[in-house]
Structure 1
Amino acid sequence: MSRRAEGGEVRAAARRGAVWTVALAVASAVCSTPALAHAGSLAGSLRSVPAPFWLVVVSGGGVVCVSFLLSAFVTDDETLDAFGRAGVRVGRIAGGVGVEAAEAALRLLGIAALALVVAFGLFGPPVGIANLGVLLVWVGWWAGFTMATYLVGNAWPLVNPWRTLGAALRSRFEGRWGLPRPYPDRLGSWPSVVGLLGLVWLEVVSPLAADPRALAVVVVVYSLLTVGGALVYGDAWFRRADPVARVFRLYGLLAPVRRIDGGGLSISIPGAGLARTRERLGADDVAFVVALLWVTTFDGLVVTVAWGRVLDAAAPAPAWLANLVGIVAGFLVFVGGYRLAASVARGTADTYVTVGFVAGWFAPALVPIAAGYHLAHFLGYVVGLAPAFVAVAASPLSPPANPSVLVVPAWFGGLQLAFVVLGHLLSVWVAHARAFDLFPGRLQPLRSEYPFVAVTVGYTMASLWVVAQPAVGGVAG
């Protein structure tokens, strides 16, 4: 085939892919109704802000569609390789007294933060917004530290207090009672999938933001389980079974700053780590990536008026059961949609590789979607609660009775939508780069992307629909 003919086929392939995405975007617009954008809140600290729904539809499906059209014309190996490989190395950081001291300080910081959470949770003020332990967990860690992980780099392996405690215990008891033991391969990464869904479900059904005592109990129980797993199975526990460590590892692949082999740092384009990773993901790892995407969406969904109506309709079933069914059912729907896309992609790409391999190969491209939604959901949360965090941290033993919070301006709703869309755009580009790494030529990679772009638009519309719902207060995250 001549280069001109092949170029025509590429343009035709891009047009066919655009039809998929435009059709889905139009269907989403027709089946949706106007709403308001919101930010997550702690005890109702932030208010809903308006955003026109046409902006949700156009900026969602339309922009993702245009992104795919533009990326479809980037098919040369040099440009695609530059995205995955470009980066600047920043010296060597392995070894040295200063580096060891910094790492030790980060480990001590993690231990101190864990101790503060438990101590203030058990003995501090009973009001969540005035309790340092509650604010450390939700504002400082799950919101702020997580954002820093995918926006800057992953420091969790050093900060992780459970890993530090597990290593200390393991060095003391190594060789006794057959410790450490090999991690059971038959379990795979499924414990982390169940753990992630379980933690988010527990956050939803328990008053962990309003009741510091309940939060402290959950943290203590989780600490015992995690340190015990690290003692028995070593670092394999954090690679395979611990949901928190796995979440931060995935987000770290998205970050521009990464630690490289041999010592040193690499500063690259955001998402480059996801594009160049060659780790083979099995069905369990794919399920975890999809679970991460789903729980970030579910975490925002449960604070909306729409979900409140679902719980009302499910009565007289208890709310904890309705939420359990909801989080499991939504996860299965997300997994099913992704597996269907992988199956269709295998057919459109006309390849002999298995559906499971295709699903595992493209799964890293879902991480930017989860990060984009997390940023949209939690940036206003951090901004709104920053004054309360500072005031309580300055006087944790006698905090103000009613710490002040900020109300985000109305234009913040558009900023939230932009974060969601940017995450999806980066997802499309990562999938594009990975497609050309897997399939030969120019047409086969593009054809493999059609189903995934359609699913991405579907995820976009679902995320934006959640962001666009009026919120009710009283839940963290």
Structure 2
Amino acid sequence: MLFYILLARPVHAHTSEGGFVLLLPTDMYIASGVLAVALTVAMLIALPAAVTSNLFQPFPLSKPLFGGAVRMRFELSTSLLSAGVLLWLLYVGLNGPRDPLANPLPLSIWSIGWIGFVFLQGMLGDLWRVFNPWRGLVWIAHNALGLHPFARFPRWLGQSIGLVSFGVIVGFLLADVAPSDPARLARFVGLYWLVGLVGRIIFGSRWARRADGLTMLLSLYAKVGVFARRGGKICLGLNGWQIARRRPLPIGISVLCLLMLGSGIFDGLNETFWWLAKIGINPLEFPGRSAVIWQTLTGLVATNLALIALFCLALWIGVRLARVDIPFAKAFCIFAPTVLPIALGYHFAHYFTSFLVEAQYALVAASDPWATGQDFLGLGTFYVSTGFFNSQDSVRVLWLCQAGGIVVGHMVALLLSHAVARKHFGNRATLSQVPLAMFMIFCTFIGLWLLASPRGF
């Protein structure tokens, strides 16, 4: 034994981001974040009603650079280009390298698309109408080939098909055994794209508004963005100004707002030691995703149902306190969209560190899509860096950025909810907001706790 001790040398150990997070004073950070949201509530009570309403007053910037016909041709061209790129990615997914970090399809769909594009859609506005991979082909089918919509989408279905398709997307991401496997993902995306194309050809634009969960999600996030066209001009306003100034959404779309938030919460929850202990899994001996498929799906459904129940309870108490003569269903449709800034904040916080790494892999994969040693983008000796996870100072900055995203999202949601209440309830708005404010403060605590919790995989 003494012999081996004398031979011992320093060991270069690698520590992960999660290990450093556990060393941070996260209790203090969580308390500070919750306090910031609580102080926002106090500020709203003290401020005059006109102040909160004016916060969501948009500023007209200029008219669009192109007229309607030119803009339409541009959007159809970019849509066709997006469809071509998607078909090429599907081909590479089926025939390219098997490594998800080397194949462009998983990196494009999950890293660039699901993480990056969705966040930009929520921050800036409706970018999806430019990059929608269906619109151009549907226009050709309807106008060049004469395949006009020949069936009416059943009104009685509402948005139920869209809610199911959203659930399928989230379920595939969270519960499938290998959602990043290139061939498996190619088949899933290809089938979803094909069904969407056929549905749009048969039913027209109603399919996109009622049956396409992805488009419905992106359309909702577009309403959170700071830019939008209004009155023939491009306007700029605080995130959520479009929600504050529009009529209530349909009931199915309103439910989707809460599903987006609940799914984001469970996306972080299902990786924690707490959740793995609840389903009887040793986090240090994780058996693989195939062993927890049904537990994950059950947890996803239960989390969404619990969130909707809590929101409905807070809203019902608020309406009763304010003594407002309004049907509960209408109140639900009025206030459900106000949680969208929270959902966007969760989205940013949960995926921020993953994007920092995977975006680099996406760049390398774009330069060498077949993993044959090519270098189409001229990256040279570019290496993927994860050095920002190796020091406590850099991890602290990353964690504070994530926590800041959650806190800011909740603060914007509180301001938005109060502005909407002022619009519909007048002087009784403050009382109606107390339970909803408590709901949002609770969500702030949950989000920050999820960031600080140890993870099992």
* Aligned equivalent of 1:238, options 208, 215, 229: 208
8 A Cα contact 2:41 2:437, kept in partner:
yes
Q: Distance in 2 between matches of 1:345 and 1:96?
A: 44
Are positions 1:283 and 2:251 aligned together?
yes
State the partner residue of 1:182: 152
Q: Work out the CA distance in 1 between the residues paired with 2:68 and 2:153.
A: 33
> Identity of aligned pairs, percent?
24
Query: Is 2:431 the counterpart of 1:451?
Result: no
d(CA) in 2 for partners of 1:386 and 1:318? 29
- The correspondence for 1:301, drawn from 266, 269, 278, is 269
In the aligned structure 2, how far is the partner of 1:147 from the partner of 1:108?
A: 23
Between the aligned partners of 1:258 and 1:383, the Cα distance in structure 2 is 28
Q: Which amino acid aligns with 1:268?
A: G
Alignment-derived partner of residue 12 in structure 2: none
Give the number of aligned pairs.
422
Distance 1:319 1:333 in 2: 20
Structure 1 residue 241, shift from structure 2 partner: 1.7
Q: Equivalent residue for 2:307?
A: 334
Cα pair 1:392 1:403 within 8 Å, conserved: no
Q: Which residue of 1 aligns with 2:170?
A: 200
> Residue 42 of structure 2: which of 53, 61, 69 is its match?
69
Native 8 Å contact 2:239 2:341 kept in 1: no
Report deviation, 1:424: 0.3
Residue 425 (structure 1) aligned with residue 408 (structure 2): no
> Letter of the aligned partner of 2:301 in structure 1?
V
Change (3 A) 1:47 1:90: same
The answer as to 2:197 corresponding to 1:217 is: no
User: SS in structure 2 opposite 1:259?
Assistant: strand
CA gap of 1:104–1:310, structure 2 versus 1, over 3 A, is same
Q: Distance in 1 between matches of 2:147 and 2:75?
A: 27
Change (3 A) 1:311 1:173: farther
Q: Which has the higher contact order (CA 8 A, sep 6+)?
A: 1
Residue 122 (structure 2) pairs with residue 150 (structure 1): yes
| Cα deviation code 1:261-284 (max 9, x no counterpart) | 53x421222221121121x23432
Q: Which moved more, 1:311-320 or 1:131-140?
A: 311-320
Structure 2 matches for 1:43-442, cutoff 5 A?
47-48=17-18, 49-50=20-21, 51-77=24-50, 79-95=51-67, 99=71, 102-171=74-143, 174=146, 179-262=149-232, 264-278=233-247, 280-312=248-280, 318-398=291-371, 404-406=384-386, 407-408=388-389, 409-411=394-396, 412-441=398-427
- d(CA) in 2 for partners of 1:453 and 1:399? 55
Offset at residue 96 of structure 1 (A):
7.0
Alpha-carbon displacement from aligned partner over 1:39-78 (angstroms, at most 9, x marks no partner)? xxxxxx974241423234313322111001011222333x
Unaligned 5+ residue runs, structure 2?
Answer: 1-14, 375-381
Deviation at 1:371, TM superposition (A): 0.3
Could you tell me how far apart the structure 2 residues matched to 1:96 and 1:423 are? 34
Moved more, 205-214 or 370-379: 205-214
Letter aligned with residue 404 of structure 1:
V
Distance 1:472 1:120, change over 3 A: farther
- Greater CA deviation, 358-367 or 167-176? 167-176
Deviation at 1:453, TM superposition (A): 0.5
Distance in 2 (CA, whole Å) between partners of 1:322 and 1:397 is 36
Which letter maps to 2:403? L
Q: Report the AA paired with residue 317 of structure 2.
A: V
| Long gaps (5+) in structure 1 | 1-44
Taking a change above 3 Å as real, the CA distance of residues 359 and 417 of structure 1, as seen in their structure-2 partners, is same
- TM-score (normalizing by structure 1): 0.82
* AA matched with 1:375: F
Asked if the contact 1:369–1:427 (Cα under 8 Å) also holds between the matched residues in 2, the reply is yes
| Cα distance between partner residues in 1 of 2:245 and 2:327 | 21
Shift in Å, 1:381:
1.8
